[in-house]
Amino acid sequence: MIDIKILRTNPSLVLESIQKRNLKIDLDALLRLDAERLAIQQELENLQAERNRVSKEIPTISDATKRQSKISEMKVVGDRIKNIETTLSETDEAYKLGLASLPNFLDPTTAIGADDSGNVVEKTVGIPRSFDFPIKAHYEIGEARGWIDIEKGAEVSGARFWYLKGDLVLLQFAIINYVMSEMVNQGFVPMIPPYLVREPAMYGTGFFPADRSQIYEVNPGEDDLFLIGTSEVPVTSYHSGEIVDVENTIKYLGYSTCFRREAGTYGKDMKGILRGHQFDKIEMVCFAKPEDSHRVHDEMVALEESIWSSLGIPYHKLNVCSGDLGNPAMKKYDLEAWMPAQNQYREVTSCSNVGSFQSRRLGIRYRKEDGNLDYVHTLNGTVIAFSRCLIAIMENYQNEDMTVTIPEVLRPYMGGRERI
pLDDT at 418: 98
Q: Considering the candidates 199, 242, 262, 347, report the single residue annotated as catalytic.
A: 347
What's the pLDDT at 2?
84
Q: In the chain, list all ranges with CATH 3.30.930.10.
A: 116-414
Confidence of residue 1 (pLDDT cuts 50, 70, 90): confident
Catalytic, 232? Answer: no
Mean pLDDT in residue range 157-165: 96
Which of 160, 260, 361, 365 is catalytic? The answer is 260
Q: Is the pLDDT of residue 266 over 70?
A: no
Mean pLDDT of 343-361: 97
Helix, strand or coil for residue 79? helix
Mean pLDDT score, 195-217:
93
Average pLDDT, the chain: 95
Q: Where are the alpha helices (DSSP H) in 185-231?
A: 199-204
Angle at 273 between CA 275 and CA 152, to 5 degrees: 115
When pLDDT is cut at 50, 70 and 90, the band that residue 361 belongs to is very high
Third-level CATH fold of 116-414: BirA Bifunctional Protein; domain 2 (3.30.930)
Cis peptide before 209 (omega within 30 of 0): yes
Catalytic: 350?
A: yes
**pLDDT > 70 in the chain, percent:** 98
What average pLDDT does this structure show over 253-270?
Answer: 82
- Closest by CA to 274, choosing from 387, 133, 136, is 387
Residue-level pLDDT at 211? 87
377 CB burial (10 A radius; 0-12, 13-18, 19+): buried
The stretch 128-144 carries a mean pLDDT of 96
CATH classification of 26-100, choosing from 1.10.287.40, 3.30.70.360, 3.30.70.3270, 3.10.560.10? 1.10.287.40
CB 272 within 8 A of CB 137: yes
> What count of other Cβ atoms lies within 10 Å of the Cβ of residue 3?
15
| Annotated catalytic residue, options 67, 275, 360, 411 | 275
**Which residue in the list 17, 256, 350, 359 is annotated as catalytic?**
350
Residue 264: pLDDT band (50, 70, 90) is low
pLDDT of residue 265 exceeding 70, the answer is no
Nearest Cα neighbor of 114 from 19, 212, 14 is 19
Q: pLDDT by residue (tens digit) across 61-88?
A: 888 889 899 999 999 999 999 999 999 9
- The CA–CA distances, whole Å, from 275 to 159, 171, 202, 260 equal 10, 19, 22, 10
> Would you call 80 a catalytic residue per the annotation?
no
Catalytic residue list contains 359: no
* Proportion of the chain above pLDDT 90, given as a percent: 91
Question: According to the model, what pLDDT value does residue 107 have?
Answer: 96
Q: What's the pLDDT score for residue 221?
A: 86
Evaluate if residue 267 carries a pLDDT over 70: no
pLDDT at position 268, please?
64
Catalytic residue among 140, 160, 388, 395: 388
* pLDDT tens for each residue of 311-331: 999 999 999 999 999 999 999
Confidence check: pLDDT of 16 > 70: yes
Report the half-sphere exposure of 168 (CA within 13 A, side-chain side).
27
Please list the residue range(s) of the chain that carry CATH number 1.10.287.40: 26-100
pLDDT value of position 360? 96
Catalytic (active site) residue 347: yes
Q: What angle do CA 207, 210, 211 make, to 5 degrees?
A: 60
Contact indicator for 197, 238 with CB cutoff of 8 Å: no
Asked whether the beta carbons of 325 and 332 are under 8 A apart, the reply is: yes
Report whether pLDDT(271) > 90. Answer: no
User: What digits encode the pLDDT tens for the residues 20-55?
Assistant: 999 999 999 999 999 999 999 999 999 999 999 999
